[in-house]
């Protein structure tokens, strides 16, 4: 608890990280308060074709889309989708990837090598491609997008945890606890994991941003949740045939994505500076 | 500052200048390659050309190679479409309607100089069956392999298995290939399909010059073409694949393209109309936008559910708001401007109350999500789906939109079990006869082709359609189609939305375009620059 | 010696990794519910004809059998045929490879030429306005959706102001085929108009592709230089009265390059992943576009072909980078 307070205090001192935190807070607020903040909350489902492709105005802050729905309101509700995807996908990747990394890192058997090679296989193909293939195979929908993203992101956690665990093994406190007869599980859970938690936290924040981008890409390619779900990537793809006249239609969702991912990246950077200054040089596993 | 530093800086500036100059020169040189009267006509096409083989493709999106590189016995021209003798000069039909004899013009040549004979026509017909794609299914309804004979060097005889009123209408789909040339390139009994996908064995007005599936194809005028040439014609044509709408529009505005197809949102059409160097021709065409309903799968198999769906679509909003009134409402499965349309049928309109009433009468209730299939890349289908989804939602029916590329959708529509509940697409003119629409859509013998994914089965309608197909009396045929249309509309076997107008954007200095719904305005031999 | 052992160990795992990749991709590609055989058979084929075609393509055999057939084919260098273009996948890939290489090289070139100096300057003028501006750019670089950036550039530079072409590789037919890279080929054959067109078409996609890579390079260069500057600057400044600027540049640049070169693997990954989306946005007929369209069309063989190809390349590059890394920076010869 005290460390948390310490962390927050340090975070507040780094203005850039603070900015990131604020941006993320805005995202959460937008999502939670969407029904209140939206000017046309019904427009998630309602259509008004006669109002289509209107520019930004007093009634429609960010204009209307091809079916006449208010873009501003749809963006707010889209924030919910964004958060949902990011949290569940990264969460699942964490749950899968960290234990695998711990086990592979702690033990030095052929099994560890096997685990790492399996994770290598998943990393061999660009995540986007694998996610596209999975989403297309299973059919475009929200759950399938989340699944596709989880399945392709866990290796990043595994590699990170593996590297950290390996480098920790020569640390005295680990050696001594083993010498004292602590079981492997005890060592892993109570000694390794806490030490590894810092890079994991950093990677989680950055991973959220990365996942949101990949999810938007899937939506852009038509592999995300189908209409009328107000997914940001899909909105951008819908806008293309109406450019350049309806420029707001493409600009608004893109800016939303940018601001949100920027928030996670800034926060992640700030966390990295605080929690793990020795990897300032930039870990090899940037992604 | 050190001497080194200064030298580097000076060098840097100088190099930069040279580079900039060079780039400028290159760009200028590039820009100057636009002469006053162009010698090459460039057409920007939405669909890509994966094959040039005239017997492997059948759709309107890829019609350009077929009508420019190849010839048929007869040809569809102009609007309203008219059938004129082409490679053939005349034909006769036996009284029982089974033997069709065509006399070829003499001295017509293929691109390699060989003369076109009846043997080539026979080979081409057999090849259609052999390759098994394209128009094969259409011909196999009335003709069998081996029933086509060359009576002499210039006479071909087709013996049909049953009389067909549309046989003459689809004769243009027998694109005559150079049998000697194709036979040289046959591999593993493929009828030369692999070779012909990338090469030219035709006799058409233009000779293939270059082809790259990722880019397009170009062709040069065939001076020895049997039809002859007027004073003004195009020396060279190029069909380029440009899938992006905005690139096509910008290209027209820039003068990079001299023509493009009208698959544009109306907003973009307006933009082109307002441009000074672009003319937008328009004609009434025959292309129905519709929702195919899967009549074999519950709950859409229930007639009341289908009627409810028909009442749940906001036709006015779609036609007037989304399409800016650029199309005509067409509530029956035959284009309004063709014969065979029952004039007394009003069709369905947007009425949620009526929709709910129909739903109440339904014996099978829609308790699951209906699947609405749309075509990837054709945003209009998606917009229609969204509108339909909204209407359905308001009567308490849930639905899910799934998007697939056209080839994938065609595959899904082969079986009632894999076909979505509702599929949104267009049915274009393959030949100008009501059978092209209502005939192929609702004849239960045709299940599995993309036109007949309604999987509709009504013996009364089958009988009417067969009668219309086999009679040669226009009055009889018209009456049969009208009656069939009445039944089908009453049973809401599908939802028919609009009949399209053709918009043809061309450069201002282009003249002579003869639009025909079948050739889609891509027949280049009549065209020239002013 | 230790290096050799390490290298061998990694190389030994190469084959099983590739095999594992193939198996996983195979499983994924075969669970696809759509039936591409039906649509290859043609719009109007009967179910009987479809079944015949399926047998001909060997797709009616049990899955393990199909997998074995596939492996057998691979050993012969046969990736199978695309269900759509009906041409061998290997041919399709080779045909499209130069386009992707050209795009990636252009992006890489831009990234290095602009990124490294920027990173150095940013570090040298730490906390200046320029530095802060660059930090904003670098963070943005990894926060912008690349497809959106591409569309925005298209919107402004191509549609609104008409400075650059919207999409595609070239206007008109390509120059004589030597390398397959239009810019290079047109230069080699003196085809100036083709060069101008090809270069103009290359700018927007390359810029879009380079942006995240640029951000990464600037970051790492800056970090690398900062370390050096802070530790050795004072020492060298005192050294033998050499012009400090010259020595600093030479020393710092070397370190900057090193820290960037070690990230080549990472950069390569970013660029490869980027090509998939950017080629789709700009209709650039390369491997990335091929991958996306194959997936959307459920073209089994093409999907497998692309995945294996990219997987192998990626694994090789990572292997080389790992080896190179241990050479350059022996301190970090960890796992």
Rounded CA separation B459/B13 (Å) = 84
Q: Mean pLDDT over all residues of chain C?
A: 77
Q: Which of A123, A262, A281 sits opposite C227 (nearest CB)?
A: A281
Residue B317 touches partner A, C-beta closer than 8 Å = yes
Residue A244 touches partner B, C-beta closer than 8 Å = yes
C contact test, residue of A162, A282, A283, A285 with most C CBs within 10 A: A282
- Model pLDDT for residues B27-62, shown as the tens digit of each residue: 544 444 444 578 899 999 887 787 899 998 877 778
**C117 CA: distance to closest CA in chain B (Å):** 14
| Lowest pLDDT segment from B306-315, B358-367, C207-216, C262-271 | C262-271
For chain B, what percent of residues have pLDDT higher than 90? Answer: 56
The answer to whether the CB atoms of B404 and C193 lie below 8 A apart is no
pLDDT of residue B291: 95
The answer to whether the CB atoms of A136 and C24 lie below 8 A apart is no
Q: Which whole number is the average pLDDT over C244-263? A: 67
A contact test, residue of B243, B264, B321 with most A CBs within 10 A: B321
Rounded CA separation B11/C268 (Å) = 32
Residue A43 scores a pLDDT above 90: no
Residue C151 touches partner A, C-beta closer than 8 Å = yes
Contacts of residue A258 in chain C, CB cutoff 8 Å? 140, 143-145, 148
Q: Which of C20, C151, C314 sits opposite A250 (nearest CB)?
A: C151
| C172 Rama sector, left if φ>0, alpha if ψ -120 to 50, beta otherwise | left
Rounded CA separation A35/B321 (Å) = 28
A40 Cβ contact list (under 8 Å, min separation 6): A46, A60, A69, A70, A72, A73
Contacts of residue B408 in chain C, CB cutoff 8 Å? 34, 36, 39, 296-298
Please state whether beta strands B74-77 and B82-85 pair in parallel, antiparallel, or not at all (unpaired): antiparallel
Rounded CA separation A29/A24 (Å) = 9
The structure tokens listed for B256 are 């990079």
Q: Mean pLDDT over all residues of chain B?
A: 87
Instruction: Report yes or no: C24 and A117 within 8 Å, Cβ to Cβ.
Output: no
Please state whether beta strands B370-375 and B399-404 pair in parallel, antiparallel, or not at all (unpaired): parallel
Contacts of residue A251 in chain C, CB cutoff 8 Å? 152
- Model pLDDT for residues B150-190, shown as the tens digit of each residue: 999 999 999 999 888 889 999 999 999 999 999 999 988 88
**B203 three-state secondary structure:** coil
Q: Which whole number is the average pLDDT over B326-354? A: 91
B404, closest residue in chain A (CA to CA) = A222
Angle at C139 between CA C134 and CA C142, to 5 degrees: 130
DSSP state of A226: P
The answer to whether the CB atoms of A66 and B314 lie below 8 A apart is no
The answer to whether the CB atoms of A221 and C280 lie below 8 A apart is yes
Instruction: Report yes or no: C85 and B50 within 8 Å, Cβ to Cβ.
Output: yes
Say which residue, C68 or B397, is predicted with more confidence: B397
Residue C139 touches partner A, C-beta closer than 8 Å = yes
Q: Identify the top-confidence range among A61-65, B451-455, C315-319, C320-324.
A: A61-65
Residue B369 touches partner A, C-beta closer than 8 Å = no
The structure tokens listed for A131 are 């996610």
B419, closest residue in chain C (CA to CA) = C34
DSSP state of B369: P
Contacts of residue B450 in chain C, CB cutoff 8 Å? 43
pLDDT of residue A278: 55
- Alpha carbon of residue C100 to chain centroid: 7
- Model pLDDT for residues A176-222, shown as the tens digit of each residue: 777 777 777 777 777 778 888 888 988 899 899 999 999 999 999 88
pLDDT of residue B28: 47
Say which residue, B385 or B4, is predicted with more confidence: B385
Q: What is the DSSP string of A46-62?
A: ---GGGTTPPS-SSSTT
Residue A280 scores a pLDDT above 50: no
DSSP state of A70: B
DSSP state of C145: -
**Cβ of B199: how many Cβ atoms within 10 Å?**
16
The answer to whether the CB atoms of A67 and B387 lie below 8 A apart is yes
Neighbours of chain B (3+ CB pairs under 8 A): A, C
What is the strand order of the sheet B99-104 is part of?
B88-93, B99-104, B155-160, B143-152
Contacts of residue A257 in chain C, CB cutoff 8 Å? 145, 148
C44 Cβ contact list (under 8 Å, min separation 6): B58, B133, B134, B135, B136, B137, B138, B449
pLDDT of residue B395: 93
Report CA dihedral (C255, C256, C261, C265) to the nearest 10 degrees.
Answer: 130
B382, closest residue in chain A (CA to CA) = A227
The answer to whether the CB atoms of B133 and C34 lie below 8 A apart is no
Residue B26 scores a pLDDT above 80: no
Residues 424-443 of B with CB under 8 A from A: none
C160, closest residue in chain A (CA to CA) = A244
**C34 three-state secondary structure:** coil
Q: Can you give the three-state secondary structure of B504-521, one letter per residue?
A: EEEECCEECCCCCCCCCC
Residue A241 scores a pLDDT above 70: yes
Q: Which of A66, A68, A227 sits opposite B389 (nearest CB)?
A: A227
Query: What pTM was estimated for this model as a whole?
Result: 0.83
A contact test, residue of B271, B315, B317, B380 with most A CBs within 10 A: B317
Phi/psi at B8 (5° precision):
-55, -45
- Model pLDDT for residues C28-58, shown as the tens digit of each residue: 767 655 566 665 555 555 666 667 767 766 6
Angle at A98 between CA A104 and CA A179, to 5 degrees: 55
Rounded CA separation A148/A243 (Å) = 31
A17, closest residue in chain C (CA to CA) = C139
pLDDT of residue C205: 94
Q: Which of A124, A127, A262 sits opposite C21 (nearest CB)?
A: A124
Say which residue, C263 or A261, is predicted with more confidence: A261
- In angstroms, what is the C-alpha Rg of chain A? 22
pLDDT of residue C217: 86
Q: Which whole number is the average pLDDT over C207-227? A: 85
Instruction: Report yes or no: B455 and B295 within 8 Å, Cβ to Cβ.
Output: yes
The answer to whether the CB atoms of B389 and A46 lie below 8 A apart is no
Rounded CA separation B196/B55 (Å) = 9
Give the pLDDT band (50/70/90) at residue B214. Answer: confident
Rounded CA separation C107/C128 (Å) = 28
């Amino acid at each position: 608890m005290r460390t948390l307070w310490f962390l927050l205090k340090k975070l507040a001192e780094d203005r850039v990280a603070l900015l990131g935190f604020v941006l993320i807070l805005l995202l959460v607020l937008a999502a939670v308060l969407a029904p209140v903040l939206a000017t046309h909350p019904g427009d998630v489902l309602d259509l008004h074709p006669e109002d289509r492709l209107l520019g930004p105005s007093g009634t429609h802050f960010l204009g209307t889309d091809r079916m006449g729905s208010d873009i501003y309101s749809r963006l707010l509700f889209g924030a919910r989708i964004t958060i949902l995807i990011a949290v569940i996908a990264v969460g699942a990747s964490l749950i899968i990837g960290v234990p695998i990394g711990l086990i592979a890192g702690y033990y030095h058997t052929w099994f560890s090598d096997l685990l790492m090679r399996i994770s290598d296989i998943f990393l061999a193909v660009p995540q986007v491609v694998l996610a596209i293939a999975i989403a297309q195979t299973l059919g475009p929908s929200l759950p399938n997008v989340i699944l596709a993203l989880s399945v392709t992101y866990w290796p990043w956690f595994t590699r990170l945890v593996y590297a950290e665990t390996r480098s920790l093994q020569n640390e005295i406190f680990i050696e001594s606890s083993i010498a004292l007869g602590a079981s492997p599980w005890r060592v892993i859970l109570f000694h390794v994991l806490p030490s590894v938690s810092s890079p994991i936290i950093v990677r989680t924040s950055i991973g959220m941003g990365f996942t949101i981008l990949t999810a938007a890409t899937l939506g852009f390619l038509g592999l995300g949740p189908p209409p009328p779900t107000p997914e940001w990537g899909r909105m951008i793809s819908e806008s293309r045939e109406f450019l350049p006249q309806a420029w707001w239609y493409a600009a608004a969702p893109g800016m939303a994505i940018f601001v949100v991912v920027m928030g996670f990246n800034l926060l992640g950077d700030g966390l990295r500076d605080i929690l793990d200054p020795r990897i300032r040089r930039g870990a090899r596993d940037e992604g | 500052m050190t001497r080194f530093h200064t030298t580097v800086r000076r060098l840097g500036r100088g190099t930069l200048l040279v580079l900039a100059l060079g780039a400028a020169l290159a760009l200028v040189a590039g820009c100057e390659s636009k002469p006053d009267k162009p010698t090459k006509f460039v057409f920007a096409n939405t669909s890509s050309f994966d094959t040039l083989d005239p017997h492997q493709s059948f759709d309107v999106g890829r019609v350009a190679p077929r009508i420019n590189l190849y010839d048929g016995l007869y040809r569809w021209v102009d609007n309203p479409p008219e059938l004129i003798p082409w490679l053939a000069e005349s034909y006769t039909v036996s009284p029982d309607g089974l033997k069709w004899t065509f006399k070829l013009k003499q001295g017509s040549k293929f691109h390699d100089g060989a003369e076109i004979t009846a043997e080539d026509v026979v080979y081409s017909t057999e090849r259609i069956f052999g390759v098994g794609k394209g128009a094969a299914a259409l011909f196999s309804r009335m003709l069998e392999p081996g029933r086509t004979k060359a009576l002499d060097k210039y006479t071909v005889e087709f013996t049909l298995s049953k009389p067909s009123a549309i046989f003459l209408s689809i004769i243009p789909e027998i694109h005559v290939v150079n049998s000697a040339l194709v036979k040289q390139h046959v591999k593993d009994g493929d009828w030369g399909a692999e070779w012909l996908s990338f090469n030219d064995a035709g006799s058409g007005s233009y000779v293939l010059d270059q082809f790259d599936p990722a880019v397009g194809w170009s062709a040069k005028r065939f001076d020895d073409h049997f039809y002859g040439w007027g004073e003004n014609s195009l020396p060279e044509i190029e069909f380029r694949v440009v899938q992006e709408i905005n690139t096509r529009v910008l290209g027209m505005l820039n003068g990079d393209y001299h023509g493009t197809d009208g698959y544009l949102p109306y907003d973009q059409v307006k933009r082109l109309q307002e441009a000074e160097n672009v003319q937008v021709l328009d004609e009434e065409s025959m292309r129905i936008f519709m929702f195919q309903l899967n009549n074999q799968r519950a709950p859409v198999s229930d007639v009341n559910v289908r009627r409810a769906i028909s009442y749940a679509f906001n036709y006015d909003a779609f036609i007037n708001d989304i399409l800016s009134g650029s199309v005509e409402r067409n509530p029956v499965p035959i284009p309004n401007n063709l014969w065979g349309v029952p004039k007394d049928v009003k069709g369905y309109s947007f009425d949620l109350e009526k929709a709910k009433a129909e739903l109440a009468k339904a014996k099978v209730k829609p308790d699951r999500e209906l699947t609405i299939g749309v075509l990837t890349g054709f945003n209009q289908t998606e917009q229609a789906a969204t509108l339909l989804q909204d209407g359905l939602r308001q009567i308490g029916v849930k639905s899910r939109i799934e998007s697939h590329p056209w080839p994938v959708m065609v595959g899904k529509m082969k079986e009632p079990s894999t076909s979505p509940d509702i599929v949104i697409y267009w049915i274009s003119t393959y030949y100008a006869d009501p059978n092209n629409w209502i005939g192929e859509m609702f004849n239960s013998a045709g299940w599995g082709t993309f036109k007949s994914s309604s999987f509709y089965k009504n013996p009364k309608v089958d009988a009417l359609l067969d009668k219309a197909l086999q009679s040669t009396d226009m009055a009889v045929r018209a009456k049969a189609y009208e009656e069939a249309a009445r039944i089908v509309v009453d049973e809401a076997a599908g939802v028919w939305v609009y009949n399209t107008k053709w918009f043809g954007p061309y450069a201002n200095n282009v003249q002579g375009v003869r639009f025909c719904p079948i050739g889609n305005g891509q027949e280049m031999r009549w065209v020239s620059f002013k | 010696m230790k290096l050799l052992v390490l290298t061998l160990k990694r190389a030994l795992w190469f084959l099983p990794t590739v095999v594992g990749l193939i198996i996983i991709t195979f499983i994924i590609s075969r669970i696809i519910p759509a039936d591409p055989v039906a649509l290859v058979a043609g719009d109007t084929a009967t179910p009987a004809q479809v079944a015949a075609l399926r047998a001909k393509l060997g797709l009616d055999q049990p899955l393990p059998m199909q997998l074995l057939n596939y492996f057998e084919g691979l050993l012969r260098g046969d990736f199978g045929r695309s269900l759509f273009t009906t041409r061998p996948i290997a041919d399709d890939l080779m045909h499209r490879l130069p386009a992707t290489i050209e795009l990636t090289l252009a992006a890489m070139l831009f990234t290095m030429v602009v990124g490294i100096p920027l990173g150095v300057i940013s570090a040298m003028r730490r906390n200046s306005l320029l530095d802060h501006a660059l930090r904003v750019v670098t963070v943005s670089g990894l926060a912008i959706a690349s497809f959106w950036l591409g569309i925005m550039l298209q919107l402004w530079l191509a549609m609104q102001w008409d400075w650059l072409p919207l999409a595609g590789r070239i206007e008109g037919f390509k120059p004589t085929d030597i390398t397959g890279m239009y810019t290079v080929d047109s230069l080699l054959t003196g085809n100036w108009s083709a060069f101008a067109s090809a270069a103009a078409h290359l700018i927007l996609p390359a810029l879009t592709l380079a942006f995240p890579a640029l951000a990464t390079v600037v970051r790492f260069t800056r970090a690398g230089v900062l370390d050096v500057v802070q530790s050795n600057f004072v020492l060298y400044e005192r050294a033998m009265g050499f012009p400090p600027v010259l020595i600093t540049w030479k020393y710092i640049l070397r370190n900057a390059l090193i820290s960037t070169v070690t990230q080549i693997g990472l950069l390569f990954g970013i660029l490869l992943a980027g090509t998939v989306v950017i080629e789709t946005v700009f209709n650039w007929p390369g491997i990335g576009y091929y991958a996306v369209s194959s997936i959307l069309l459920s073209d089994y063989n093409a999907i497998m072909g692309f995945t294996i190809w990219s997987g192998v390349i990626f694994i090789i590059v990572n292997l080389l980078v790992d080896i190179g890394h241990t050479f350059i920076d022996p301190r970090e010869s960890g796992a």
